[in-house]
Structure 1
Amino acid sequence: MMPFSGPTPLPLQKPRALLLTRVDDRLSFLYLDRCAIHQSDNGTVAVIEVEDGSRSTQIPVATLTSLMLGPGTSITQQAAAHMAAAGCAATFVGGSAVRSYGAFLSPYAPADRLQRQALVSTDPDLRAEAARRMYLKRFPGTTSATFADASIEQMRGIEGLRMRAVYEQQARKHRLRAWRRNTGTQPELGPPDSVNMALNAANSALYGIVNSVVLSLGLSPGLGIIHSGNRQSFTLDIADLYKTRVTVPLAFSLKDHGDPFNAALRTLREELRLLRLLPQIVNDIDMVLGIDVADDWSVDALELWGPAGEVEATWSHAEWSL
């Protein structure tokens, strides 16, 4: 076997909680395609080939929520490990960022929210209460008494009528007489128009951002409340809270834009910063799961379960075996 002659791998240390930027204080997302990402002595770098050679750009992974990797990207093991240690999610997306194929994130996340999510998603009564809170969030100004006697099916129908009304309102506002939603997954409908293209790009970016927050909080994207049966069910649940406020108006405003895909991503990134949506996502997740106050967490938290309660797992319990 030939000896390894490449550069010496950079050492990666387990981060302390105080050194990790809180998810609600981070930047939203960065979309990259057709580049190579590697780890240098100065941090994570994206290298782009240009006519006269190559150009490199630093990626602020320590303060970034999600790095969206599009077609033509490659990433080294060291860069991926550094991103995971810094708590920056890498989301792998398809052409025009319409589809999300997967993601990875830091393993340093607490399990308290995940346990609560598992309980809510499997208890019919708690799940119905969480779904009711989500529907109320979509109707500003309403109270719990509004849907007190409504079934989940009735609330789902009301939500469908609301979404149809929002699309029709935006179409009238921007003077679009004939318009229909096209996700780009049905070729018989023809190529998507500028509104559909912008909406697909903006929604895909929104899914990536919400998915990154979900993973950052140690939650499972697949344990949904309203949605079920998909590995992104909970991500879709939370993302739906913001579409009529963020992505739908943005897409219709770009109906005459020559490059609606890139314009949607640029504008969405700026709007997320102005709206401070990341802290809102964290608060809304706690609201949906019925968590009043988010407790502080430690990357070293580990306990052993027992019927009498949980105990620390960092020392021997041999004396209790007799």
Structure 2
Amino acid sequence: MKGNPGASPTRPRELVRATDRISFIYLERCTIHRDGNALTATDDRGVVHIPTAAVGAVLLGPGTRVTHQAMLLIGESGATTVWVGEHGVRYYAHGRPLGRSSRLLDAQARAFASRDGRLAVARAMYAIRFPGEDTSKLTMQQLRGREGARVRRCYREHASRTGVEWSRRDYDPNDFAASDDVNQALSAATTCLYGVAHAVIAALGCSPGLGFIHTGHDRSFVYDVADLYKAEVAIPAAFDIAAAGSGDIAGDTRRLVRDAVVREKLLTRCAQDIKSLLLPDAGPEEPEWEGDVVYLWDDQGPPLASGQSYAELDEDPPW
């Protein structure tokens, strides 16, 4: 009997870990195909080969066409695929996790479903933003107030540093050009940051919708994680682009954020932060749980091994 046609699926150990990947790549007005284990981007200038297994996210802009084989490779490599609009908006899809274990997802769901567990993770997220300060006794209302003050102070500091006039965050998600230069750059920068955060979340097998600070949206956890680094990466990049008088705000912002993500080793930090938030008692050097094992849930004890029959041989089946 012939086996399944096509390339064999990759195994977790064959993939580059999320912490070792580079940043994201943005493509537009080209055809994306596959050549072996690399993507190819073809336009009227020629062909570029892209090592997909080393990329966290592939952002597909206007005018892109992608083949079935290219999507198969992206999905198997665990990279996140994001179809974006003219100025880098809208999220549509992602690949399967790099690891096959649901350990992090299980921990996320347990914490999310418990009021105390959810509050503990939320406080830990705020603690990352306020190093050296004790957030363990603060209420969510107090934490939100302090975070709002921190972000407003960050805007003012970078406005003063760059000489960019700043009043407030003001933008229309459906009309990129309706806001001023710095708000356009902020929209582009945060979109890139959301893509990176979503790529790591998907690679680790977590749910992008189970947030601890944000809630009610299919990307709530993405916004939670991205906000950990927004003041460090997105805001300074946006003010730098606005101060430079860029003629291509969206493109120049993407490139500046991409460089910051690489320089700050953001994918590594993001993966480590998610693990420490969801599994605070786990060691920092634990592997990314590469085992490709499925268990059967049992309400009376530990999970059972799958792939075998548990029917009693001397009894008639209950069905």
- TM-score, shorter chain, exceeding 0.5: yes
Partner AA of 2:273 in structure 1: D
* In 2, Cα distance between equivalents of 1:94 and 1:276: 27
The CA deviation string for residues 75-94 of structure 1, in whole angstroms up to 9 with x for no partner, is 11111011111112111112
2:41 to 22, 30, 46: 46
Cα distance 1:190–1:282, how it changes in 2: closer, same or farther (>3 A)?
A: closer
The answer to whether the Cα contact below 8 Å between 2:204 and 2:288 also exists between their aligned partners in 1 is no
What is the aligned partner in structure 2 of residue 302 from structure 1?
294
Residue 34 of structure 1: how far off its partner (Å): 1.3
DSSP 3-state at the match of 1:62: helix
* In 2, Cα distance between equivalents of 1:18 and 1:199: 37
* In 1, Cα distance between equivalents of 2:314 and 2:295: 17
200-209 or 190-199, which moves further after superposition?
A: 190-199
DSSP 3-state at the match of 2:143: helix
DSSP 3-state at the match of 1:245: helix
Residue 157 of structure 1: how far off its partner (Å): 1.1
Is 1:30 matched with 2:25?
Answer: yes
Is 1:183 matched with 2:171?
Answer: yes
The answer to whether the Cα contact below 8 Å between 1:198 and 1:251 also exists between their aligned partners in 2 is yes
2:56 to 58, 65, 68: 65
* In 2, Cα distance between equivalents of 1:295 and 1:276: 18
* In 2, Cα distance between equivalents of 1:202 and 1:263: 10
DSSP 3-state at the match of 2:8: coil
The answer to whether the Cα contact below 8 Å between 2:23 and 2:55 also exists between their aligned partners in 1 is yes
Cα distance 1:190–1:218, how it changes in 2: closer, same or farther (>3 A)?
A: closer
In structure 1, runs of 5+ residues without a counterpart are 1-8
What is the aligned partner in structure 2 of residue 159 from structure 1?
147
* In 1, Cα distance between equivalents of 2:291 and 2:85: 33
What is the aligned partner in structure 2 of residue 76 from structure 1?
67
Is 1:290 matched with 2:282?
Answer: no
Partner AA of 1:261 in structure 2: A
User: What is the total number of aligned residue pairs between the two structures?
Assistant: 305
Residue 319 of structure 1: how far off its partner (Å): 4.2
* In 2, Cα distance between equivalents of 1:173 and 1:205: 23
Residue 130 of structure 1: how far off its partner (Å): 0.7
* In 1, Cα distance between equivalents of 2:122 and 2:76: 34
* In 2, Cα distance between equivalents of 1:268 and 1:251: 9
Cα distance 1:296–1:205, how it changes in 2: closer, same or farther (>3 A)?
A: closer
Residue 116 of structure 1: how far off its partner (Å): 0.6
The CA deviation string for residues 231-256 of structure 1, in whole angstroms up to 9 with x for no partner, is 00000000000011111011111122
CA RMSD, 1 decimal: 2.2
The answer to whether the Cα contact below 8 Å between 1:16 and 1:299 also exists between their aligned partners in 2 is no
1:232 to 207, 219, 232: 219
The runs of at least 4 aligned residues of structure 1 exceeding 4 Å deviation read: 319-322
* In 2, Cα distance between equivalents of 1:72 and 1:32: 9
Structure 2 length as normaliser, TM-score? 0.89
What is the aligned partner in structure 1 of residue 259 from structure 2?
270
Cα distance 1:153–1:76, how it changes in 2: closer, same or farther (>3 A)?
A: same
Percentage identity across paired residues of the two chains: 34
DSSP 3-state at the match of 2:91: strand
* In 1, Cα distance between equivalents of 2:295 and 2:69: 30
The answer to whether the Cα contact below 8 Å between 1:83 and 1:106 also exists between their aligned partners in 2 is no
* In 1, Cα distance between equivalents of 2:163 and 2:251: 23
Alignment of 1:28-177 (within 5 A): 28-41=23-36, 43-48=38-43, 50=44, 55-97=46-88, 99-106=89-96, 109-142=100-133, 144=134, 147-177=135-165
* In 1, Cα distance between equivalents of 2:290 and 2:307: 14
The answer to whether the Cα contact below 8 Å between 2:84 and 2:91 also exists between their aligned partners in 1 is yes
76-85 or 173-182, which moves further after superposition?
A: 173-182
Residue 301 of structure 1: how far off its partner (Å): 1.4
In structure 2, runs of 5+ residues without a counterpart are none
The answer to whether the Cα contact below 8 Å between 2:37 and 2:73 also exists between their aligned partners in 1 is no
The CA deviation string for residues 24-71 of structure 1, in whole angstroms up to 9 with x for no partner, is 1011100011111122356321111x3xxx522112111111101112
Structure 1 length as normaliser, TM-score? 0.88
Residue 313 of structure 1: how far off its partner (Å): 0.9
